[in-house]
Amino acid sequence: MASSISILEEFNPVFYPESVAVVGASDSPLKGGHLTLLNLMQRFKGKIYPVNSHLPEILGLKAYPSLSAIPGKVDLALIVVPAPSVLPVMKECAQKRVKGVIITTSGFRELGEPGAKLQDEVTAVADEAGIKVIGPNTFGMVNPYAELNAGFGPSFEGLKRGHIAVITQSGGVCALLLDSMIKQNIGVSLAMSLGNRGNIEFSDLIKYLAEEPRTKVIALYLEGIEEPRKLMEAAKQVVNKKPIVAYKVAQESLSQATYSHTGSLAGKYELYRTAFAQAGIIQADNCTELIDIAKALAFQPPPRGNRVAIVTTQGGPGIIAAYVCQNSGLTLANLSSQTKQRLRELIGPLTSCQNPIDVAWAARDVETSEEIIAITMDEEGVDALIINALTHGVGSKFKEAIISLAHKRQLKPLVFFWDSSTEDDPHIIELEENNIPAYPLPDRAAEALSGLVKYGEILSRG
Amino acid sequence: MASSISILEEFNPVFYPESVAVVGASDSPLKGGHLTLLNLMQRFKGKIYPVNSHLPEILGLKAYPSLSAIPGKVDLALIVVPAPSVLPVMKECAQKRVKGVIITTSGFRELGEPGAKLQDEVTAVADEAGIKVIGPNTFGMVNPYAELNAGFGPSFEGLKRGHIAVITQSGGVCALLLDSMIKQNIGVSLAMSLGNRGNIEFSDLIKYLAEEPRTKVIALYLEGIEEPRKLMEAAKQVVNKKPIVAYKVAQESLSQATYSHTGSLAGKYELYRTAFAQAGIIQADNCTELIDIAKALAFQPPPRGNRVAIVTTQGGPGIIAAYVCQNSGLTLANLSSQTKQRLRELIGPLTSCQNPIDVAWAARDVETSEEIIAITMDEEGVDALIINALTHGVGSKFKEAIISLAHKRQLKPLVFFWDSSTEDDPHIIELEENNIPAYPLPDRAAEALSGLVKYGEILSRG
């Protein structure tokens, strides 16, 4: 009885390997084969095998002259040798029954022919042996749950375990997104750049991540895609289970020759936007939005509609949030006269009880603040909230109120603007431990909420 | 012979006071009159006079029952009493020959009548006595050069002295912009929120800042403006001397009644955008852009044209920068075949010598990196550069190269993308000490450069 292998069983040995070889490990600093070995040794607890035909030892580890000389099994091989040596190494991988490889080496399809031909030959060997190929021309993969930094990129020290998978075309962009997430204390479930996509495509990864239990959100950075239909088909299946947010740049902007034909290029780009929308992929317009929206989706459920109430300790940040809502397809919720009256009693006569609700000095008292937020949340016409608080005196009370409320009752979906002058603000950590995503600017909070609302719309169309 | 008083002489006693009174100083925490006094005492080296009719001492300082009881002169009075008491206090200010006041109290024009009437009465007394009125309904003013935090807002600890003036309508937005600038280590020359604009308008401030030598860039946050023509006229005069960058939100988004008439509102907003463009005001689309563009303008001269070369240590960040250029009115510079050939010799065969120029591993060597940047800069068709480097191994060499080059020769205008996982990155500080503005994301670097290019265009039209 043949049992079909699940996608998790297929990929897990590659993303959660027990043993990793570095083929092309080097003792000379600033070489890829050195940086890769260093990164791996930093945290990985499994077996590490440097492979180098000349050296008996690298960085204190016994080195092997070839893959076949390694005594134990090898789940994952990091291939850091020059392009012409990659094919023979792949043949060795097949013999050694390696499960997956990461080819960081460049000099393949990205150069046109004959690089494309070489890549096809390498991939053919891998396909035949059932080896998963990440790359070529990638910086590698990072899996915080496996304590694995498999690539020649930054050390990614401080990268937290979390629920966002980051999959990019470019290695550099994967690295910069992760560095930005470290800085903002945002956790990651798995991250990699697919580079030239030997035999793993975005569509494959999306299907895997849909099943992978640690991932709640899939964040993509895309340049050109050879087979957009495969991606869109995979996305359509997956988005009902997990949200996908993507930042797609027009690769055409690179080309001098085509650059001047802006009209047709814009048209092509518009086609992409339409296809993404149809597939249910949420679109980000820059790196910041990509991370901000992914974070909202990791912490909060999608709202049932687009009617937003803004509750703010200061007028201006509320106006900014309202302005962004207006430009991002959100609606400012109408409050019933009863709600407005109840708010007026708590807030006093001086500030707005319309939406945005300007709490001002009433925020000085935690209980009053809780009541204000609860009344707003219970208003039937409100689907989601933006809560704004500045960090000083009154604002910190308001933050306490929302956390206290989160312990007492079910909250409607919300995002929090928390103006902080330090990155490792303990308040932000506390908010996010309570699943309340906090943003350092009110416009960013509102844009993030608009991504959350879009996901609700995608789900509701079924 | 009557000598006309210059705008600097007119405003400097208010913005650089020798003595400050807090009228309504309080000993009860979380009250405005307490926070204001605390903020003032934190760093201000001049005389501080708490005024309170009941207490002989507040926070260890002798308190006075009234302004007139203060023995010395008072340059600036911070008025923190309830709205109905503001008029008599203003009359006292007139008697005491106070130069300027900051009225943080709300309950004036923002409430409609009768608040507007009260505000008019207060302002009439001030006008008669030649007193400058910041507010009412403002958080106050911050002047790092005067070590002055004159308001009830955050402490703004760590706010650096610098060359960007930040003037906002809303106090909350001023606070959040400053907190963001603290986090990014960006210096400020003067910051304040004008609130209800008693008798100081945006146009007055702009004219003052044009003459004030520490300010190089004027950053504005605007909601509604009663007399837009005055602002536009002032801007037209000033922008040939100093750049103005503004983030304007449509205040109309606040109003439920008008919110549904999106068409006409959008039209009104478009009128503003056109007027701003005609006045030579650079427009930012969100808080991040406002600060990013102001920073570029504070560090770099405007380029002569919009032809941009992108030099990058990794492909992907270069593609993002190119994409943003394309969408922001910048042109990717054409490189001459001679330039491309010289670059190819230094970079090797594997990566792009088209624009974006993908330096890859050639960045490993500081001298080669310097040469690559210099060749690109010397290309006649290049007006400005975006330099991208990731923080790990190779990137830090590239950063060294640009700093070394900055010591040796005149650079063309440039912005730097430096992927950093910590905020107080010493590399960013080093770059900016060399007047090279560094941004944590490539899209933000490119957007900032587009602001710089726009200023060049504004200057060139005369």
Average pLDDT, chain A: 91
Nearest Cβ partner for A172 among B255, B325, B390 = B390
Separation in Å, CA of B3 to nearest CA in chain A: 41
- Confidence category of residue A224, pLDDT binned at 50, 70, 90: confident
Could B183 and A391 be called an inter-chain contact, meaning their C-beta atoms sit closer than 8 Å?
Answer: no
Separation in Å, CA of B130 to nearest CA in chain A: 29
Segment B287-327, tens digit of pLDDT: 999 999 999 999 999 999 999 999 999 889 999 999 999 99
Q: Which of B119, B159, B168, B249 to mutate to test the interface with A (most CBs of A within 10 A)?
A: B249
* Rounded alpha-carbon distances, angstroms, from residue A418 to B156, B170, B175: 15, 17, 12
Identify all chain A residues contacting B107, using CB atoms and an 8 Å cutoff.
350
Segment A427-447, tens digit of pLDDT: 888 898 999 999 999 999 999
Encoded tokens for B46: 């001049």
- Confidence category of residue A412, pLDDT binned at 50, 70, 90: very high
Q: Which residue of B has its CA nearest to A316?
A: B170
**Better-predicted residue by pLDDT, A171 or B78:** B78
Q: Which residue of B has its CA nearest to A107?
A: B350
Residue B76, helix vs strand vs coil: strand
Could A254 and B175 be called an inter-chain contact, meaning their C-beta atoms sit closer than 8 Å?
Answer: no
Q: Over pLDDT 70: what percentage of chain B?
A: 94
Separation in Å, CA of B40 to nearest CA in chain A: 15
> What's the whole-number mean pLDDT along residues A250-270?
50
**Model confidence at A160: pLDDT above 90:** yes
Q: Which residues contact B370 (CB under 8 A, 6 or more apart)?
A: B401, B402, B404, B405
Segment B421-459, tens digit of pLDDT: 666 678 888 898 999 999 999 999 999 999 999 999 999
pLDDT for the residue A2: 43
pTM over 0.80: yes
**Model confidence at A252: pLDDT above 90:** no
pLDDT for the residue B393: 64
Could B30 and A393 be called an inter-chain contact, meaning their C-beta atoms sit closer than 8 Å?
Answer: yes
Instruction: Give DSSP secondary structure letters for A298-337.
Output: HHSPPPSSSEEEEEESSHHHHHHHHHHHHHTT-EEPPPPH
Segment B30-81, tens digit of pLDDT: 788 999 999 999 999 999 999 999 999 999 999 999 999 999 999 999 999 9
pLDDT for the residue B226: 75
Q: Which residues contact B341 (CB under 8 A, 6 or more apart)?
A: none
Q: Which residue of A has its CA nearest to B109?
A: A350
Segment B118-133, tens digit of pLDDT: 999 999 999 999 999 9
pLDDT for the residue A315: 87
CB neighbours of residue B97 within 10 Å: 12
Segment B80-89, tens digit of pLDDT: 999 999 999 9
Q: Which residue of A has its CA nearest to B314?
A: A172
Which of A437, A189, A432 lies closest to A293, judged by CA? A437
**Model confidence at B412: pLDDT above 90:** yes
- Give the Cα separation of A450 and A23 in Å (integer): 45
* Rounded alpha-carbon distances, angstroms, from residue A2 to A5, A8, A193, A332: 9, 17, 34, 57
| Buried/exposed code over A420-453 (b: 16+ C-beta within 10 A; e: otherwise) | bbebebebbeebbebebbbbbbbbbbbbbbbbbb
Q: Is the complex ipTM more than 0.90?
A: yes
pLDDT for the residue A186: 94
User: Which of A184-198, A324-338, A370-384, B260-274 is least confident?
Assistant: B260-274
Which of A223, A169, A234 lies closest to A196, judged by CA? A169
Instruction: Give DSSP secondary structure letters for A252-298.
Output: GGG-HHHHT-HHHHHHHHHHHHHHHHHHT-EE-SSHHHHHHHHHHHH
Could A287 and B320 be called an inter-chain contact, meaning their C-beta atoms sit closer than 8 Å?
Answer: yes
**Model confidence at B163: pLDDT above 50:** yes
- Give the Cα separation of A168 and A202 in Å (integer): 9
Residue B222, helix vs strand vs coil: strand
Where are any strands of DSSP class E within B27-160?
Answer: 47-51, 57-58, 61-62, 76-79, 100-103, 132-134, 140-143, 148-151
> Which amino acid does the sequence have at B87?
L
Q: Which of B419, B428, B444, B450 to mutate to test the interface with A (most CBs of A within 10 A)?
A: B419
Residue B160, helix vs strand vs coil: coil
Identify all chain A residues contacting B315, using CB atoms and an 8 Å cutoff.
110, 170, 172
CB neighbours of residue B70 within 10 Å: 19
User: Which of B27-31, B114-118, B419-423 is least confident?
Assistant: B419-423
Nearest Cβ partner for A319 among B223, B334, B388 = B223
Separation in Å, CA of A262 to nearest CA in chain B: 9
Could A322 and B254 be called an inter-chain contact, meaning their C-beta atoms sit closer than 8 Å?
Answer: yes
**Model confidence at B237: pLDDT above 50:** yes
Encoded tokens for A237: 């299946």
Instruction: Give DSSP secondary structure letters for B295-356.
Output: HHHHHSPPPSSSEEEEEESSHHHHHHHHHHHHHTT-EEPPPPHHHHHHHHHHH-SSS--SSS
Nearest Cβ partner for B288 among A171, A174, A441 = A441
Q: Which residue of B has its CA nearest to A35?
A: B393
Identify all chain A residues contacting B288, using CB atoms and an 8 Å cutoff.
288, 441, 443-444
Could B154 and A364 be called an inter-chain contact, meaning their C-beta atoms sit closer than 8 Å?
Answer: no
- Confidence category of residue B4, pLDDT binned at 50, 70, 90: low
